[in-house]
């Protein structure tokens, strides 16, 4: 043995610092541990964290209006929504381009559905207008082709708006058509002079790239491009057009002259002719209010408010349902949890204190419903509780209830509470049991030997020690209850349904996923809040599952 005299860091036998050596020694273990948990970690990330993050995002996301109607939204910014007037011509002109491109990409119906959540009826307006809106484009295209037939050719548009490199690459792709078309790159300077055309063409090129059959240069140009170019040419100063480099400026100048010579299109009048609803300021208000990329609208809907141009207002009374549902879900979940506790505590006590053989039989009785299909159990309650069901028949037979006044015990809140208490009971009993199992019987004996009556011994000594089990069971039951869906759906009728039934409705029937996400987020937040409150009052350390 040699004594080390250096005062530096502790070193291992081979001279490396002890910390480095230790880290190296533990690294393998750490990697192995990580590898062992990796499948679960990935599973949880993919199936749990990611969906929750996506849900949280969906509850505020609102890019569809901004992305589908870029020109309209831009022009609409100048309009005063409180006026009774419809917006000016630029808005309609923008809409003519946007709606055409949207119709080409079949996006207008989706947009219509989105706005329909806020203003019912708007979706048919979008659907019908989308059908005829390319009339604008066809007329404009005719005009352009009259000025120069080259506009019929996709290559003309590509040369005008894309970089030379992109056109080259695109031509090369057209020769063998393997792989993905090169992504569109805008020619410099065009964005300032021909913004609408460029915007529409970017969508056109992306659409061609996605379909993948024909090169953007070979595809038939969208009529929307003609509308956009016509508007751009009217708006652009002649000198800015001729200043563009690398393109056929003569073609542009020629076309511009032809466009100028023709009478300007009255987009507003044409849209009103298409559908008189375009004259309604309400439609434009809706579009304007929901034009930002992110919105609190879904959350406001979730608490029976709505977002209008005047700010946040209450929904009309007949449309207020969610607050009621949230409150109902919360108090019924609490009631169900309480019922579970009331019924489960004595059972858990018996389980923990009976002889092992008897306790095992009882445990199987507790677990048996647990192993039975949820649907079977719920259906069984239907059989028992319905007006012509077992319990009513029995009560009538006993003469306790008149045959004409059978009790309504199902398809209402009573039914939901009964069935859910039954279903969630094991979740209360099991944590209670595992905690009670750890309380030695000598505590009760000690209390009694010290002079406490059986009740005092229970209340002062046994009960406080079972509180962690009560906490665990209650949290488990409550959280399960608050998100329960199938049972309330089957036995709840209209008065006994929970917020989760509404969420399911929006997910699968109305397809308003944003609202469903907002409702879900609120539910999640409510649970987390209750959890926090519970932690503050009882202390989460006081929760024991065994």
Partner 1 sequence: MDSRTGGDAAFVAFEHVQKSYDGETLVVKDLNLAISKGEFLTMLGPSGSGKTTCLMMLAGFETATHGEIKLNGRPINNIPPHKRGIGMVFQNYALFPHMTVAENLAFPLEVRDIGKSDREAKVKRALDMVQMGNLGGRRPAQLSGGQQQRVALARALVFEPELVLMDEPLGALDKQLREHMQFEITRLAHDLGITTVYVTHDQTEALTMSDNIAVFDDGRIQQLAPPTVLYEQPMNSFVAQFIGENNTLLGTVKEIRGDLAVVELDDGELIDCKPVNVSKAGERTKVSIRPERVEFNKARLKPGAHTLKAEVLEFIYMGDIFRTRLRVAGNDDFVVKTRNAPDQVRLQPGQQIEIGWLPQDCRALDA
- For residue 61, what are the β-bridge partners? 294
Compare residues 27 and 445 and give the one whose CB is closer to partner 1.
445
User: What is the 8-class DSSP label of residue 81?
Assistant: T
What is the smallest separation between the CB atom of 62 and partner 1, expressed in angstroms? 53
Residue 457 interacts with partner 1 (CB under 8 A): yes or no: yes
Compare residues 140 and 447 and give the one whose CB is closer to partner 1.
447
DSSP letters, 347-399, are HHHHHHHS-HHHHHHHHHHHHHHHHS-HHHHHHHHHHHHSTTSHHHHHHHHHT
The stretch near partner 1 (CB under 8 A) out of 13-21, 249-257, 369-377, 458-466 is: 458-466
Residue 419 interacts with partner 1 (CB under 8 A): yes or no: no
Phi then psi for 11, rounded to 5 degrees? Answer: -120, 150
The stretch near partner 1 (CB under 8 A) out of 193-201, 272-280, 454-462, 521-529 is: 454-462
Residue 446 interacts with partner 1 (CB under 8 A): yes or no: yes
Residue 358 interacts with partner 1 (CB under 8 A): yes or no: no
The stretch near partner 1 (CB under 8 A) out of 48-56, 321-329, 453-461, 511-519 is: 453-461
Out of 60, 206, 350, 452, which residue is the one contacting partner 1 (CB under 8 A)?
452
What is the smallest separation between the CB atom of 113 and partner 1, expressed in angstroms? 58
Cβ–Cβ < 8 Å for 449, 531 = no
Mark 463-482 with x for binding to partner 1 (rule: CB under 8 A) and - for no binding.
Answer: -xx-----------------
12 closest CA partner among 26, 1, 22: 22
What is the smallest separation between the CB atom of 447 and partner 1, expressed in angstroms? 7
Q: How many CA atoms lie within 13 A of 197 on its CB side?
A: 30
How many angstroms separate the CA atoms of 347 and 367, rounded? 12
Compare residues 179 and 464 and give the one whose CB is closer to partner 1.
464
Out of 138, 142, 314, 460, which residue is the one contacting partner 1 (CB under 8 A)?
460
Residue 447 interacts with partner 1 (CB under 8 A): yes or no: yes
| Type and span of the H or E element at 305 | strand 305-308
User: What is the 8-class DSSP label of residue 229?
Assistant: H
Out of 3, 451, 508, 509, which residue is the one contacting partner 1 (CB under 8 A)?
451
How many angstroms separate the CA atoms of 59 and 70, rounded? 22
Residue 449 interacts with partner 1 (CB under 8 A): yes or no: yes
Q: Binding residues for partner 1, how many (CB under 8 A)?
A: 19
Scanning 236-355, the segments in alpha helix (DSSP H) are: 238-242, 249-261, 267-274, 281-289, 297-302, 322-353
What is the smallest separation between the CB atom of 427 and partner 1, expressed in angstroms? 25
Q: Which two tokens stand for residue 319?
A: 């449309």
How many angstroms separate the CA atoms of 339 and 214, rounded? 67
How many angstroms separate the CA atoms of 438 and 394, rounded? 42
Cβ–Cβ < 8 Å for 102, 128 = no
CA 429 to chain centre: 35
Residue 57 interacts with partner 1 (CB under 8 A): yes or no: no
The stretch near partner 1 (CB under 8 A) out of 58-66, 124-132, 186-194, 442-450 is: 442-450
Residue 138 interacts with partner 1 (CB under 8 A): yes or no: no
Residue 26 interacts with partner 1 (CB under 8 A): yes or no: no
Compare residues 383 and 450 and give the one whose CB is closer to partner 1.
450
Compare residues 385 and 447 and give the one whose CB is closer to partner 1.
447
Compare residues 224 and 461 and give the one whose CB is closer to partner 1.
461
How many angstroms separate the CA atoms of 279 and 424, rounded? 56
Binding site for partner 1 (CB under 8 A): 440, 442-443, 445-454, 456-457, 460-461, 464-465
């Amino acid at each position: 043995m040699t004594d080390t005299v250096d005062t530096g860091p502790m070193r291992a036998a081979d001279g490396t610092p002890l910390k480095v050596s230790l880290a190296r020694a533990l690294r393998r273990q750490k990697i192995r541990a990580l590898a062992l948990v990796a499948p679960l970690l990935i599973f949880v990330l993919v199936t749990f964290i990611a969906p929750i993050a996506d849900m949280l995002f969906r509850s505020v996301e609102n890019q569809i209006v901004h992305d589908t109607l870029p020109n309209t939204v831009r022009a609409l910014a100048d309009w005063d929504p409180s006026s009774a007037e419809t917006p000016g011509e630029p808005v309609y002109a923008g809409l003519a381009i946007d709606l055409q491109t949207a119709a080409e990409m079949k996006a207008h119906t989706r947009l219509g559905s989105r706005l329909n959540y806020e203003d019912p009826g708007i979706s048919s307006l979008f659907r019908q207008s989308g059908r005829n809106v390319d009339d604008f484009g066809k007329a404009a295209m005719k005009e352009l082709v009259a000025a120069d037939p080259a506009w019929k050719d996709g290559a003309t548009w590509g040369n005008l708006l894309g970089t030379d490199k992109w056109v080259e690459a695109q031509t090369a792709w057209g020769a063998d058509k393997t792989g993905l078309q090169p992504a569109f790159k805008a020619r410099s300077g065009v964005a300032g002079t021909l913004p609408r055309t460029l915007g529409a063409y970017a969508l056109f090129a992306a659409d061609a790239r996605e379909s993948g059959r024909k090169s953007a240069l070979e595809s038939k140009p969208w009529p929307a491009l003609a509308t956009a170019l016509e508007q751009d040419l009217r708006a652009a100063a002649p000198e800015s057009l001729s200043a563009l480099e690398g393109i056929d400026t003569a073609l542009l100048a020629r076309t511009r002259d032809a466009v100028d010579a023709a009478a300007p299109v009255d987009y507003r009048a044409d849209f009103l002719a298409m559908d008189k609803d375009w004259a309604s300021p309400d439609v434009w208000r809706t579009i304007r209010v929901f034009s930002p990329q992110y919105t609190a609208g879904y959350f406001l809907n979730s608490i029976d408010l709505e977002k209008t141009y005047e700010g946040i207002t209450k929904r009309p009374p007949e449309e207020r349902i969610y607050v009621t549902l949230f409150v109902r879900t919360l108090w019924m979940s609490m009631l169900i949890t309480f019922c579970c506790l009331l019924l489960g505590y004595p059972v858990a006590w018996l389980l923990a204190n009976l002889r092992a053989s008897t306790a095992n039989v009882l445990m199987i009785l507790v677990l048996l419903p647990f192993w039975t299909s949820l649907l079977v159990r719920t259906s069984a309650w239907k059989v028992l509780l319905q007006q012509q069901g077992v319990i009513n028949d029995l009560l009538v037979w006993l003469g306790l209830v008149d045959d004409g006044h059978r009790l309504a015990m199902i398809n209402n809140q009573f039914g939901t509470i009964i069935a859910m208490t039954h279903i969630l009971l094991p979740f209360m009993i099991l944590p209670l049991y595992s905690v009670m199992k750890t309380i030695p019987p000598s505590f009760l004996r000690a209390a009694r030997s010290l002079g406490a009556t059986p009740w005092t011994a229970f209340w002062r000594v046994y009960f406080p020690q079972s509180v962690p089990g009560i906490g665990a069971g209650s949290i488990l039951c409550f959280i399960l209850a608050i998100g329960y869906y199938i049972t309330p759906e089957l036995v709840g009728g209209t008065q006994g349904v929970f917020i989760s039934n509404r969420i399911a409705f929006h997910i699968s029937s109305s397809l308003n996923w944003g609202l469903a996400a907002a409702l879900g987020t609120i539910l999640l937040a409510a649970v987390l809040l209750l959890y926090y409150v519970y932690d503050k009052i009882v202390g989460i350390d006081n929760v024991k599952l065994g």
